[in-house]
Each structure stands twice: as C-alpha cells, then as structure tokens.
Amino acid sequence: AQSVAQPEDQVNVAEGNPLTVKCTYSVSGNPYLFWYVQYPNRGLQFLLKYITGDNLVKGSYGFEAEFNKSQTSFHLKKPSALVSDSALYFCAVRDDNYGQNFVFGPGTRLSALP
Amino acid sequence: DVKVTQSSRYLVKRTGEKVFLECVQDMDHENMFWYRQDPGLGLRLIYFSYDVKMKEKGDIPEGYSVSREKKERFSLILESASTNQTSMYLCASSSRYTEAFFGQGTRLTVV
C-alpha cells in the first residue's frame, strides 16, 4: 500500500529565512510525488511534481523539492520565505502499481512571520 | 486555462435531504475524484472514476454514491444527508501522467 507522512503539523519561519516542509512516502513501485498548497476555504493549488529525471524539482512561486530515493523523502524548500507563503501544504504520492489514485499526507501548516 | 468547476462554494442542507454535488472538468481527463477534507484528517478519498460509467470506492464511501454519465462530469450524491457529513468536499481530475487538478471546493453544512 502507498502512504505519505508529514511529520510536522506546524512549521514556523521568519520572513526572509529558508523554509523546509518535510514529506516521506512509502510505495511498492516507482513513486510519482507532488506538492500542493491550500489557502483558507480554497481548493488545492499544484506547486510541483517529481515523475522521473533530475532529483531537484523546481516549481511555482520559488518553491523546489528534492527527491531522495534512499530516504524515501520529498521535502519542500524555499530559499527565502514570504508572509504570503503562510498556508496549508500537502504532499501526495501516486504509485502506478496501485492505479491512478493519489494519496495525500495530513498536511503541514506553515506560518511565515514578519 | 484548465479548469475543474464545482457547482457550489457553500451549501446548507437539512438532515435527511438528498444532496447533489456536481463537478465538471474541461481537460478531457479520464480520472476524476471526490475527496472530503476535515481538520486534522487531511484529504480522504470517497470515490473515484477512471472512465465514463466506471466507479471505484475509496477509503470512506459509506453514505455516498457517485455518477459519471459523461467524461467531463462527476457527481457526488449524499442519499440522506447527516450532520457527520458536514465537511469540505473537493473534486479533482487527472490524466495518467499529470498531477491532480482541483476545484475550488464545496463547504457543505448539514443542519
């Protein structure tokens, strides 16, 4: 079975500092990995994905993530946080051995403080 | 601009009512999904569909049914709404190698 863990419910960061939101996954086959952001009372917005190729993936709004197969991790990073980055972040995985479903982590709330 | 559109942003229904949540996508995606989102529980899959007239149960299908008569439309049905179905409902669509594209969500309150 496939699963996603986001070990931190809440991450606080000062504006201008680098931010990291952690994600680890478990799949039986090859993982497709995704990050989404959600603002209050809105749907999820796609940030970036890893399907194959370069382990460092760059996405929207200056975010990037690094796929680490040995550690089964896909941490989201940004060099310099903005107050407007404050939101709920979800990591998701899809394992082609289990069809086309996406499994989401529980979410991490990021607060970027001025 | 690709779009997944949910029919309502906010909905208030009475206990026992039959409720329809509609979702339409314009990307010709074969896969469509219904999730519910509750604080602390993340997104839980209710039903998904990988083709017209096909449906599969997700993790929490009890109390729900779905309909997919056309490729672009996926409906979620609450046969007899209950207060424990008060939640945020999210529709999404995808193709084999794409990410999931989400609608704006429907916040349903059952009173």
Does the beta-carbon distance from A102 to B92 stay under 8 Å?
A: yes
| Residue B89, min C-alpha distance to chain A (Å) | 9
Residue A98 has pLDDT above 70, yes or no: no
* pLDDT tier, A40 (very low <50, low <70, confident <90, very high otherwise): confident
Residue burial B57-89, b: 16+ Cβ < 10 Å; e: rest: ebeeeeebebbbeebbebbbebeebeeebbbbb
Q: Which two tokens stand for residue A43?
A: 């749907």
Interface of A with B (CB under 8 A): 32, 34, 36, 41-46, 49, 51, 90, 92, 99-102, 104-107
Mutation site, B2, B30, B99, interface A, largest A CB count within 10 A: B99
Name the domain count of chain A.
1
Give tens-digit pLDDT for B39-80.
Answer: 888 899 999 999 998 999 999 999 999 999 999 999 999 999
Question: Which structural domain, as residue segments, surrounds residue A20?
Answer: 3-113
Here the CATH number for the domain that contains residue B103 is: 2.60.40.10
CA A81 to chain centroid, in Å, comes to 15
Percent of chain A predicted with pLDDT > 90: 79
Per-residue pLDDT at A47: 97
Name the domain count of chain B.
1
Does the beta-carbon distance from A101 to B103 stay under 8 Å?
A: no
Question: Which structural domain, as residue segments, surrounds residue B79?
Answer: 4-110
Per-residue pLDDT at A38: 95
Per-residue pLDDT at B1: 67
Here the CATH number for the domain that contains residue A68 is: 2.60.40.10
